[in-house]
Structure 1
Amino acid sequence: MHIPTSYTFSIYPMKSMNLKNLLLFLLLIGFLSCSAPKEEKSTSIESPITQEEAEQKKLILFFGNSLTAGYGIEEEDAFPGLVATKIDSLNLEYRVVNAGLSGETTASGLSRLDWFLEEEPAIFILELGANDGLRGISLDETKKNLKAMIQKVRERFPDTVIILAGMQIPPNMGQAYTATFEKMYPEVAKEEKVHLIPFLLEGVAGDAELNLPDGIHPTEAGHQIVFKTIWPHLENYL
């Protein structure tokens, strides 16, 4: 939203006003004084735990694109938020950070990953590549970027559990490209020795009732299914 940097008001000298105009002027000033927004007091909701206590919990970092971010729905209803809710219900000593960004490719993800590695994650879930596939980006480049992100996390934090979320794409780019894309994730997981979720959108992709009108992003109900897909993989490490 653009906010003008200055406003110019023209106010006539009071002596030139007749009584009627003076009364109107005073009424206007009074109206503006009453309708001007009052300064809001900052409010906060007290958490049952302190910030220090929260930081002592082990970190689960979801790093991905709009699927992770929960495009089109509330963030807490996206699968990382559902994981956080499940963890809280079980009183596990973990906290979840959703580092999903709409439109993210593997190249842009690699460039911003350092921002999220200031703290060691106990579990790192990598969900990227779908936007590469939809844009027809070279799969050699995509694979190289996925491996580079995994290696960067491992080099900095050798004890971090790394989980790679597999993905599939529609055959828009041709059958050969689509098949190679699908095989890429098991190959990366095997070569880098990380845990693989075979297909993140299992049971959701292609179902109109579980996706937003764009046919790509899951609804709240779709994210519930995604959560059920990934939870068994996470549960092994909690």
Structure 2
Amino acid sequence: MCLLLAVLSACQKSTFIDPQPAQPFTPVKEVAQSPLVVILGSSTASGAGASDYKHAWAGLFSSYLNKGKIINLARGGYTTYHILPDGQEGLVAKRPSADTLRNITAALKLHPTLMIISMTTNDVANGYSVDEVMYNLQTIRRIALDNGVKRILITTSMPRKLNAQATARWLQQRDRTMRAYEQDAVNFFDPLADADNLFQANLTPDGIHPNDDGHRLLFKQLVSRLE
């Protein structure tokens, strides 16, 4: 119950202005509802890079959540476009359609207390702008708040070896996410990055995903936002 109260009481206003700001709420009793967490994300959120899902940041969080449940809808290769709501198909040329089984619409049908959105590097790697990433995240967050989700944590980008232009965009994505969402932003970049803003070699098996040690650092970053 302590975690649920922490999740509910820790809501902070972001620097984005929502058309309909979330209204104050009253924490529910544990007998009526245990916290339900839904994760929307891509490969790292799905556990890629870890030796086993239980060592991934999402798996570690599942063990940490004493009374409650996590439903992980993340899938490798996904971008912010994949998790936009139903009905967004074809609105932006040459961009993926929403996955109706793993997007914000599907997540809201589960009635989560807490939502974690972790879209780290795929948008930029596919050539999408940081403006697109931020707009999509804002859209998804607003829909979640309007539909009763008590808190939405949004992770930043992560380091990844691709090219200098992509690294600059991932740094921009990190900084804009931290500014926009303040206490609801989870810094997944800095704990993994070396002096060149690439993945520390000892924390990744492939330069793209964290290994067990890297996932453990991300888990600690996540939990720090709930304490």
TM-score normalised over the length of structure 1: 0.64
Aligned residues with identical type, % of pairs: 25
In the TM superposition, residue 222 of structure 1 has moved relative to its aligned partner by 1.7
Q: Secondary structure at the match of 2:218?
A: helix
Distance 1:217 1:85 in 2: 21
Matches within 5 A, 1:107-186: 107-110=81-84, 111=98, 112-157=103-148, 159-170=149-160, 172=162, 174-175=164-165, 178-186=167-175
Tell me: higher relative CO, structure 1 or 2? Use CA pairs within 8 A at least 6 residues apart: 2
- Larger helix share, 1 or 2: 1
Q: Secondary structure at the match of 1:202?
A: helix
Q: Does the aligned pair in 1 maintain the 2:37–2:113 contact within 8 Å?
A: yes
Distance 1:194 1:147, change over 3 A: farther
Of residues 216, 219, 223, the one that matches 1:224 is 216
What runs of 5+ residues in structure 1 fail to find an aligned partner?
1-52
Matches within 5 A, 1:31-50: none
What runs of 5+ residues in structure 2 fail to find an aligned partner?
1-29, 85-97
Of residues 50, 53, 58, the one that matches 1:75 is 53
CA deviations on 1:39-92 (whole Å, 9 max, x unpaired) are xxxxxxxxxxxxxx999421122211101001143222211110111223xxxx
Distance 1:155 1:223, change over 3 A: same
Q: Does the aligned pair in 2 maintain the 1:64–1:104 contact within 8 Å?
A: yes
Q: Quote the residue 1:62 is aligned against.
A: 39
Q: Does the aligned pair in 2 maintain the 1:150–1:192 contact within 8 Å?
A: no
Distance 1:217 1:191 in 2: 25
CA deviations on 1:80-122 (whole Å, 9 max, x unpaired) are 110111223xxxx322222211000111121222111112222
